[in-house]
Structures are given as C-alpha cells and as structure tokens.
C-alpha cells in the first residue's frame, strides 16, 4: 500500500510538472518528462489507478518502467511495460503500459512500428481520455515520415487524413492548433510535389500534362505558396504558346523554369 501511494504520488508529480511545462511552452508532447497537454484538469487522469493492485510486483514494475522512460531508456522501458501488460492484463496499470509501449517506439524514432500501436490503443479504448493525444501522435509519426517533394507522398496524405479526423472528432482539444499547422505544411508539400512533376513534364515536352499539373496545384492547393508559382508558370506558358522544343516560347519558358 505504501508503494502504491508512492507510485501514484510520483506519477501525479510528473503530470503536474508536465502540465506546467505545457502551459509555458505550448507544446504537445508525451505526458511524462516530455511535456503534457494544456487542459483545465489533470490530463489523462483515468490512466492513473485509484484502487490498489492485487500484486505489489506490478507497482515495482511500473516504477521501474517509468524510471527507464524518464531517463530516455526506451527499449528497457518498453520491455518492462510489455511485461506489465502481459502479466497483469486486468490491472489498472495495463492501459498506461499500452500507451507507453507506443510512446517508447515513437521516441526511439520507430515511427512505422509506433503507428499500429497507437491505432490499437484507440481501437481497444475508444472512449479513453487519452485518445486525442493518441490520434495526434499517429499524425506525428506521419509528420516525421514525410519526405521531400520529389518522393512518394503517401505519408503526407495520411498525415492530413489523421489530423482531419482529430479536428473533426475533438475540435476543442489542445492539439487542434498544431494539427492545423501541420496540415498546412503537408498541403504545401503536396503542392510542391505537383510542381516537381509539372516541371518534369515540361522538360520532356509533355505540355498538356504539365498544364494539367499546374492547374491541379491552383485548384487543389490555392492557399499555398506553390500555387502562386503555378499561376505564374501557367500564365507564361499560355502567353508563349505551345510550339515545339525549338520554338522561342520554349526557350523563354526555360529561362525562368
């Protein structure tokens, strides 16, 4: 009982410190040692047990796992959280362990492994108060996996889909502002990707395809910087005409491409 009280006291202290950090920094990070969400109440309070566990070992294991996690030893923390989850599936600490297993993968930069873990948590605990954080973390994984405009944009599209879902389901969550900012960033990336393809079509003489891509940028991403470039390029192409590679319009085009 003494250990349980000590653990709960320690967890509450960590949450309180993280809550304070989030108010100062405005950042949405992991709840423990990495900054928490700004709310009027103590975040994720349902994850912290108020009843006494049936076995004192799970208290020791949870304290050990938290200690590893706080010190950035995520592999050891993950292994210990997995033991808690597997050995004490009905323990009040099991849900906390499930969430932190995903967080460990995230902070180890194993984003492709973290995504299904966050998705599983959301599926198994759809009404848990940590779900907005979990969805945000899913999107954060895709954010870290985003590539350059000349590469595949699958993760960019998934980022937008994930954050759109977060905003629609939890419009007043503390993660909404950052989610919207990252959606704007992702839309800029998609627009730049279309521009890369448009320029390539111009280089190989596929002018109708190039114009179609430029029009896509203007119509699909009108609020991006790339759309301004697309309008400028499209206007100059239309003014120059559609001659062959040796024509004067083509040479003029490549002078600003």
C-alpha distances (whole Å) from 247 to each of 141, 177, 209 are 48, 49, 19
The answer to whether 191 touches 226, Cβ cutoff 8 Å, is: yes
pLDDT confidence of residue 180: 97
Q: Is the pLDDT of residue 41 over 50?
A: no
Cβ(229)–Cβ(256) below 8 Å: no
Please, which pLDDT band fits residue 203 given cuts at 50, 70 and 90?
A: confident
Alpha carbon distance 102, 29 (integer Å): 13
Is the pTM higher than 0.85? The answer reads: no
Q: Which residue has the higher pLDDT, 11 or 158?
A: 158
What pLDDT is attached to residue 31? Answer: 40
Is the CA virtual torsion 117, 123, 124, 130 positive or negative?
A: positive
**Can you give the length of the chain in residues?**
257
Alpha-carbon span 112 to 170, nearest angstrom: 24
Average pLDDT, the chain: 81
Of 1-10, 85-94, 180-189, 193-202, which range is least confident?
1-10
Q: What is the pLDDT of residues 129-143, one digit of tens each?
A: 999 999 999 999 999
Give the pLDDT confidence of 232-253 residue by residue, as tens digits. Answer: 888 887 776 654 454 555 555 5
Contacts for 144 with CB less than 8 Å, ≥ 6 apart: 109, 111
Residue 99 pLDDT grade (very low, low, confident, very high; cuts 50, 70, 90): very high
Task: Note the pLDDT of residue 92.
Answer: 80
Residue 49 or residue 59, greater confidence = 59
Tell me how far apart the terminal alpha carbons of the chain are, to the nearest angstrom. Answer: 72
pLDDT at 84 over 90: yes
Q: What is the pLDDT of residue 235?
A: 85
- Mean pLDDT computed over 105-115: 98
The token pair at 9 is 């006291």
How far apart CA 184 and CA 179 sit, in angstroms, is 9
Q: Which residue has the higher pLDDT, 171 or 254?
A: 171
Least confident of 38-47, 79-88, 98-107, 130-139: 38-47
What b/e readout covers 70-93, taking b as 16+ CB neighbours within 10 angstroms? eeeebeebbebbbbbbeebeebbb
Q: Which of 232, 227, 257 is nearest to 245 (CA)?
A: 257
Q: Residue 49: is its pLDDT beyond 60? A: no
pLDDT at 57: 85
């Amino acid at each position: 009982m003494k250990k349980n009280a000590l653990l709960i006291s320690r967890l509450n202290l960590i949450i309180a410190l993280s809550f304070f950090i989030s108010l100062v920094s405005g950042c949405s990070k992991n709840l423990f040692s990495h900054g928490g969400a700004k709310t009027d109440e103590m975040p994720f309070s349902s994850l912290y047990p108020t009843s006494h566990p049936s076995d004192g070992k799970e208290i020791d294991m949870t304290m050990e796992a938290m200690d590893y996690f706080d010190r950035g030893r995520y592999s050891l923390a993950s292994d210990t959280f997995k033991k808690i989850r597997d050995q004490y599936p009905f323990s009040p600490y099991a849900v906390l362990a499930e969430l932190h297993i995903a967080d460990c993968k995230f902070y180890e930069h194993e984003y492709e492994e973290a995504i299904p873990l966050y998705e599983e948590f959301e599926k198994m605990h759809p009404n848990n108060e940590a779900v907005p954080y979990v969805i945000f973390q899913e999107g954060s994984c895709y954010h870290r996996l985003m590539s350059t405009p000349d590469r595949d944009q699958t993760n960019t599209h998934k980022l937008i889909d994930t954050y759109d879902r977060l905003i629609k389901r939890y419009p007043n969550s503390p993660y909404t502002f950052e989610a919207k900012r990252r959606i704007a960033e992702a839309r800029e990336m998609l627009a730049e990707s279309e521009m890369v393809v448009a320029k390539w079509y111009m280089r190989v003489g596929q002018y109708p395809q190039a114009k179609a891509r430029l029009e896509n940028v203007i119509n699909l991403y009108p609020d991006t910087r790339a759309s301004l470039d697309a309008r400028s390029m499209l206007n100059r192409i239309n003014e120059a005409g559609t001659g062959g590679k040796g024509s004067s319009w083509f040479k003029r085009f490549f002078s600003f491409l």
